[in-house]
Amino acid sequence: MSIDCQRELQVGLDAVSRAMAVCQRVRSHLITSDTLTKKDRSPVTVADFASQAIVCAALAEALPDDLIVGEEASGTLRQPEQATISEAVVNHVRSALPQADEATTLGWIDRGAADGSTDRYWTLDPIDGTKGFLRGEQYAVALALLINKRVVLGILGCPNLVTAHGTGAILYAVRGQGTWLIENTATKSSPVQVTSRGDVAPSNVRFCESVESGHSDQDTSQQIAALLGITAPPLRMDSQVKYGAVALAKAHIYLRLPTRSDYREMVWDHAAGSIVLEEAGGTVSDASGLPLDFAHGRQLEANRGIVATHGVNHDRVIQAIRAAGVNAS
């Protein structure tokens, strides 16, 4: 069923474009002191906070009643010892939104505190793949709209994604309206479709996975590749750009296999990417073959692992996962 989200789409595209520009500006002048370490030992940068503030500000102005499930919060920035980083965040936000001051910037960031329990909300990862961002590799600004626990709109801003027309692209999708690509500085979108490319011989299949071994069981991924007859080395990249890579046929399978039994994926890590691939004709499920279930708040409580494919061989991949003995229950 087609969803009418044209206003939301335009607001989202503009917000993600502004956030991408600020992220690239931060990255070009990044210094070590611009990065903090969160309780889970993952990094967060000035750009993460600035990106979230910019996107949340845009949504607050255009759609003030909409709630946002975001990854970041301003608590750390409010600590006196982080005054320098807080000031840097405000300055970068001000480059996109001249009216920004400290109070409004921190308030925009904290608009991302929703719990995902309502029938309509946005989910935002202001920089998905912060380690990729720090390395100057792949990362994404990932924004999605959920209505009645279903993703209906997704936008992936991919500043370092290389396409036929240069570096930098936005992939976006609306439920029932397909997936579209805006390349580099282009003003027009082009459709993205994967199923029309047909089946692919195992010798030509490539799968992608996270750079970080802690994010996915890479040893088991190699076993699954062998069971499928895949000989090409994996394409390793950070962030939901992996969904885009499958949609654009840079890879054919994206595997994110659980590394521990109690781990659950966060909704902002998959909402935008999943609809981008699905609307392009691909298939997304968990490691058991179940659809991703966004009905449980900030986490995918009912799912374990992620399998995303160009659609044709999805069932074969699930069978190989079972044959490899992956416990996806």
* Integer Cα distance of 249 and 109 in angstroms: 35
* Integer Cα distance of 298 and 228 in angstroms: 33
Closest to 160 in 3D by CA, of 218, 96, 237: 237
* Integer Cα distance of 169 and 175 in angstroms: 20
Buried-exposed string 152-180: b where 16+ CB fall within 10 A, e elsewhere: bbbbbbbbbbebeeeebbbbbbbbebbbb
Catalytic residue among 34, 48, 217, 269: 48
Strands 306-309 and 283-285 turn out to be antiparallel
Could you count the other beta carbons within 10 Å of the beta carbon of residue 196?
A: 6
Strands 67-70 and 120-128 turn out to be parallel
Q: Answer yes or no: 66 catalytic.
A: no
Residue 262 contacts residue 316 (beta carbons within 8 Å)? no
Residue whose token pair is 């690509």: 181
- Which residues are CB-neighbours of 153 under 8 A, at least 6 positions away? 3, 5, 8, 9, 12, 144, 145, 172, 173, 174, 175, 275
Catalytic residue among 45, 105, 123, 130: 130
Q: Answer yes or no: 48 catalytic.
A: yes
What does the block give as tokens for 157? Answer: 């801003």
- Please give the positions annotated as active site: 48, 130
